[in-house]
Structure 1
Amino acid sequence: MRAIPAASAVALLGVAALALTAPAATAAVDGGTTPFGFSVTPATVAPGGRVTLGVTNCSSTATASSGVFDTVNIPAGRTALATVDWDARAGTAYQVTFTCNGVTGRTNLTVAGATRAPVAPTAASTAIAPAGVRGGLGGSVGGVTGGELAAGTALVVVAAAGAVHAARRRGSASRAH
């Protein structure tokens, strides 16, 4: 009977851990002045960074354009990625214009502190030396998504609940003998 409150406590701890570790996602979103919705996520990005452009309630392909990235086509019901120019000025808010069925809406995209621009490759730097397999990248290749974080938290909660259940069974079994 006591396993359920213990499992509830463990589940609440898992949810709290998930809430505290989830990255805060900010987005520049339409203020409701157009018949369609649009967003730029994140609303602040470093030069050379990528943003996700989204449009809702648009029955055709929409476009997003800005002075800080090339014009991007956004298929109906989908999102698209845009790469911010490396020479974008840090601290500057650039206007992003979304167009759907001839109607336009605008929001801002702010460029964060400067990062180092990529070095143009030369003939000497593009030569690849023979080498073995590159291992050890593991989780360092990409970021953690919300789904992966939720799945990991769920596994921790299930393992903790199982441990509590096993400990209580073992305790009640030893008292019976």
Structure 2
Amino acid sequence: MPAKPLAQLPNRRLLARVAAATLVLAAATPLTIAYAASPSAGVSPTAVAPGGRVSLNVTGCGTKTGLASSTAFGDVRLTPGNLEAANLFGNATVFSNANAGAHSVTFECGGAGGQRVTVSLQVTTGAARGGLGGSIGAMSSGQIALGGTMAAGALGTGVWVLRRRSRMS
């Protein structure tokens, strides 16, 4: 097929305008789709004892402010996790006298009348783990025996190395 003469090629300015318009539309489309959808929220952990702490997270608000409220912990202001405000975060301490059972947590984007999403938080019976932050759980007698043996072995090896050094000197 022979090459077309330059006179038959489309106008370069027209092509540049079409390309620029396409780029603007392509850049704006993900933002429109992302914020047109309803926000999604989460509470972690989903089950907690009275006095325990929970992390609150909502995505898809498109605002830099938010509020989470529940009968389990009251109102908590949410702050953005990044400059685009794609995620809003907060922490709450469950009331020490909170009733056991399911509590609704309502996340509200922006000011009054903003988008809302509701999730559930389960308040369990009992008290929050304190002391070491719950880092030590129940251990079996086998684990205790193994730990004791390892500690005694390390102590014995240390004594043997020190005595051997003192003989060599």
Q: What is the TM-score when the length of structure 2 is the normalising length?
A: 0.47
- Of the two, which has the highest radius of gyration? 2
